[in-house]
Structure 1
Amino acid sequence: MNAPIIDPLQGDFPEVIEEYLEHGVMKCIAFNRRGTLLAAGCSDGSCVIWDFETRGIAKELRDKDCTAAITSVCWSKYGHRILVSAADKSLTLWDVVNGEKITRIVLQQTPLQARLHPGSSMPSVCLACPLSSAPMIVDLSTGGTTALPVIVSDMGNGVAPPSRNKIPDGTSYTLTAACFNKNGDLVYVGNSKGEILIVDHKNVKVLAIVPISGSAMIKNIVFSRNGQYLLTNSNDRVIRIYENILPLKDGLRALDDLNKTIKEEDTLEKLKAVGSKCLVLFREFQDSITKIHWKAPCFSGDGEWVIAASAIKGEHKMYIWDRAGHLVKILEGPKEAVFDLVWHPVHPIIVSVSLTGLVYIWAKDYTENWSAFAPDFKELEENEEYVEREDEFDLVPETEKVKESDINEDDEVDIATVEKDPLSDSDMSQEELRFLPAIPCPDDPQQQNKCVGSSSKLIDSNHSGSPLSEENEQAAHNASSPPEEDTAGGSQSKRKRKLSEKGLELQAEKVKKPMKTLKSSGRLLKTKNKPVDDEDDGNGLYADDGSDDY
């Protein structure tokens, strides 16, 4: 699709289902940094990597020790590693190119989400959010875990152990919403009291607190791709967008400086004062009519759009807002609940996972503006009277004579510098994995045997001639020799004709000149439909002289 043809007034967001992917029962999905590869975790414990350009499977990662459903997948910064969390409490790190398992760690709780450190190309640290315990930092090389604080008290140093809230049926739970910032030096944790804790994960220390209005439990927390905005999904059915005031790099150092400048005796109030200088509420999104719960909210690749799926069972409905807070589109799919959702990092494409395990690809329905091919062409709704210019049909119009070209034709054209993608990250790497090499799959042995058998038959037929040509040769042989007398006697006996002089001459000529092989299949069919005997009879090979010999 040519960019100038696209109507610039159209919104740059998906509108219709373009295609769907099917491979087992897929549960969760994740794009690599450029959006060229799509990883999908399946219910049988395998991880499938799709080539998003060709919509084909590039590689399948399968661990014989894991047969439980995959709960999350995460790419490393440059796409050489994939971290997979499963329902059997395991974390598995894979080498994408070789398809080999690097390490496997079993936790005490089932990790609902796991994220690799975003600041390293070959990360050995990840952030895991277990089902019923506090978020933890996991060292993938040693298997060690460090639990992060999820609540701050007024006593002591302000850090309390992870809390466990009781629900009516007696089971315990702890909210496990957490994510790295863009640089990976800070972790943002959302707790059940409606607070965002900014944690130094290396020193396991809370540096700031940002309270949310309404004190509702936080279910999801995610950063935009550029790290400038933070999204939270709370239990009060409101999605909130916060603007990140901290610098994208050295955010930890900036927080330490804030803690030194703010003088407050109360530890809790001091942390809240620091938090007010870290995050500022930017927008709130909600459905004020139906008041539905939201699921899998995220940003678009450029951060201009926000999308969230309805948590109502039996409907595949997704809401898209612009960053100003206006609802611009509601996407309605099949009558299947949304299980996971992700926006393409570069293009206006959304990929959603249904409850049945299908992956739907939502793309934009482009309206082509064909007048863009001619910049001076203008579309008219109705006819207008045209007044031609005086110099319109001159060889060199006066308007072009006055214009002078600003382009110096002697300047060298730079063909080595690569322009930066406006929707991609600022840092580029030559080591980045964008595509996987195609690996040919072995064919089925039965199919190979069939192919070998058919090819041998074809070779034999080429050497011996086709069955059709054999029939013609047989017909020619029957035509060149007179029919034998039937020895069976009775009324079915045939009369033997005498050859005329002309017939004997033609027969002698045919013996000297053998029958030419017919080359084309069309002539073979003609020969088959019209036997040689009839042709010879027509030429007078066998002439009846009117006298019978008994």
Structure 2
Amino acid sequence: MMNAPIIDPLQGDFPEVIEEFLEHGVMKCIAFNRRGTLLAAGCADGNCVIWDFETRGIAKELRDDDCLAAITSICWSKYGHRILASAADKSLTLWDVVKGEKIGRTTLQQTPLQARLHPGSSTPLICLVCPVSSAPMIVDLCSGSTTVLPVSLPDTGNGLAPPSRNKFSDGSAPFTPTAACFNKYGDLVYVGNSKGEILIIDHSKIQVCGVVQVPGASVIKNMVFSRSGQYLLTNSNDRTIRIYENLLPLKDGLKALDESNSGLDELDGVEKVKTIGSTCLSLFREFQDSITRVHWKAPCFSGDGEWVIGGSASKGEHKIYIWDRAGHLVKILEGPKEALMDLAWHPVHPIVVSVSLAGLVYIWAKDYTENWSAFAPDFKELEENEEYIEREDEFDLMPDTEKVKESDVNEDDEVDIMTVEKDSAFSDSDVSEEEICFLPADPTPDAPEQQDKCVGSTSKLADSAQSGSPLSDEAGQNGHAVNQSSSPLEGMDNSAAEDTGGTRLKRRRRPSDKVMELQVEKVKKSSQRMKPSESFCSINHR
């Protein structure tokens, strides 16, 4: 039997249909800003584009002449002032969003698959990078220095894992990490390795504080925290998405870990970090498709953390699975026959944005139906026509003695228009007056050549209506009648239709009504001053 949320769409507020799509080159990855008003996309040509999500128009283009490779990931800073883009040419580029200028650029030894700015700073200069075939690292975007993070448990008990112990003789890492992410305030880094372990790391000391073993011990491909920081999502190679509940406090999580370390001094290194890990994360739920056994791509939470989505990694299909946090599959969204590349859920609204292999961005929204009873409480929707029998007193005049019930609202009370209620969607984070929610409009003016051609064609047509113009003389020589009182718009249309050799204008400008009146009056006056015989003689003479 099907789940109730599938039958009754009112049970959950999640997207259902493709509302529209965005097109700009070949887009590869996407990311919303904190408020969901701007959508950044990285393109295959190395540039980034920022869409105004309210108007669905392009607000800014970040063009990088130094990068010609595809963008692999894109990330906003906390208040939207900066954007970090990683590219396939091993580069990291930090952008100033308002100015559209590069703040810094760093080149790594390996291609970065994912890069995330530090979430605890409004103007971060450090980021977490997950390269293709080496350990995750903390990168200082100002100096370009890198700090490699441990990817496995240390052999000795001090909790440290120096990079030399995590490498073979050729310098490669024995356990290739597949994912890493900051916690909510960026004081801890969670790393997943190929042994199915989640390492909780103090990145300032390069120290493993706790370890959690994922069931199945399979390669961890994705890791992401919910917006509130209460839940951690992992995507493993065993085709299972797992949700872990964060048992640490949202703030000062590192301090709580240090206190846990002090109480377990009697345990050795490995047992100690595993015990601490059990106090940090608790397995909450597992999601998988037991029938098709599909691999998942780009899973993430909804803005409020109530829903979990994952894209199908199968080639040639664009499917998005939606579960509630209880583990029930509530919807399967089927898009075009194109592979899915990236996913993002809007921070506030029930909107999902997906990127296809062709480079298009699809916007999935809820399919709303009209409910007239919400506007008129006495309105009744009928499934089919019914015979209506009116009451005997339905159209009787009501006596004047009955008065409208007075409102209980005291009109003398002062209304507070200054206090701003806190949005529940952002109650988990502080509010900044300097946060960038919208970008100023940057209209693209028409090319000067097109404007000159439009002005020239208008004046030329106006002059051709006079008897002494070359156009009218040429028409007379060819034996065509010259209609001097015809509208210039007719001449413009005819000239545009006959002109096949020139550059075709994308947009044709229509003269205003005032200009039309002046041109017609000018043509009439010139025709009245000229006698018919003079006009005929002058044309024949020429």
**Shorter-chain TM-score range:** 0.7 to 0.9
Q: Distance in 1 between matches of 2:485 and 2:89?
A: 73
Letter in 2 for 1:36: T
Aligned 1:198-277 pairs, distance under 5 A: 198-277=200-279
Distance 1:306 1:393, change over 3 A: farther
Aligned 1:29-428 pairs, distance under 5 A: 29-161=30-162, 163=166, 174-379=176-381, 405-424=407-426, 425-428=428-431
Encode CA deviations 1:436-488: one digit per residue, 9 max, x unaligned. 111232432431221221242366479989989974689xxxxxxxxxxxxxx
1:444 equivalenced with 2:422 (yes/no): no
8 Å CA contact 1:165, 1:173 repeated in 2: no
Task: Give, in angstroms, the shift of residue 49 of structure 1.
Answer: 0.9
Q: Distance in 2 between matches of 1:277 and 1:429?
A: 33
Letter in 2 for 1:436: L
Letter in 2 for 1:449: D
Letter in 2 for 1:21: L
Counterpart secondary structure, 1:259: helix
Counterpart secondary structure, 1:127: strand
Distance 1:460 1:420, change over 3 A: farther
Question: How many residue pairs end up in the alignment?
Answer: 471
8 Å CA contact 2:179, 2:191 repeated in 1: yes
**Aligned position for 1:429:** 432
TM-score (ref. length: structure 1): 0.78
Task: Give, in angstroms, the shift of residue 388 of structure 1.
Answer: 9.7
Task: Give, in angstroms, the shift of residue 267 of structure 1.
Answer: 1.6
Gaps of 5+ in 2: 1-7, 476-480, 487-516, 524-531, 533-542
Counterpart secondary structure, 2:425: coil
Distance 1:439 1:464, change over 3 A: farther
**Aligned position for 1:511:** none
Letter in 1 for 2:437: R
Gaps of 5+ in 1: 1-6, 475-517, 525-532, 534-550
Distance 1:408 1:165, change over 3 A: farther
1:456 equivalent among 456, 459, 462: 459
Q: Distance in 1 between matches of 2:168 and 2:217?
A: 15
Distance 1:412 1:396, change over 3 A: farther
Identity of aligned pairs, percent?
Answer: 73
Distance 1:519 1:215, change over 3 A: closer
8 Å CA contact 1:151, 1:161 repeated in 2: no
Distance 1:92 1:473, change over 3 A: closer
Letter in 2 for 1:85: S
8 Å CA contact 1:32, 1:38 repeated in 2: yes
Q: Distance in 1 between matches of 2:225 and 2:485?
A: 81
Distance 1:160 1:204, change over 3 A: closer
Counterpart secondary structure, 2:250: coil
Task: Give, in angstroms, the shift of residue 32 of structure 1.
Answer: 0.7
Task: Give, in angstroms, the shift of residue 301 of structure 1.
Answer: 0.9
Letter in 2 for 1:140: L
Task: Give, in angstroms, the shift of residue 228 of structure 1.
Answer: 0.9
Distance 1:248 1:396, change over 3 A: farther
Task: Give, in angstroms, the shift of residue 155 of structure 1.
Answer: 2.1
TM-score (ref. length: structure 2): 0.79
Distance 1:385 1:323, change over 3 A: farther
Encode CA deviations 1:67-104: one digit per residue, 9 max, x unaligned. 11110000001111000100111100000111111100
Encode CA deviations 1:406-458: one digit per residue, 9 max, x unaligned. 42221111112222222235311111111111123243243122122124236
Letter in 1 for 2:452: N
Task: Give, in angstroms, the shift of residue 379 of structure 1.
Answer: 3.9
Say which is worse superposed, 421-430 or 146-155, in terms of deviation: 421-430
8 Å CA contact 1:150, 1:161 repeated in 2: no
CA RMSD of aligned residues (A): 3.3
8 Å CA contact 2:161, 2:207 repeated in 1: no
8 Å CA contact 2:317, 2:336 repeated in 1: yes
**Aligned position for 1:536:** none
Encode CA deviations 1:199-242: one digit per residue, 9 max, x unaligned. 11111111111111111111100001111111000111110011
Letter in 1 for 2:210: A
Distance 1:263 1:448, change over 3 A: same
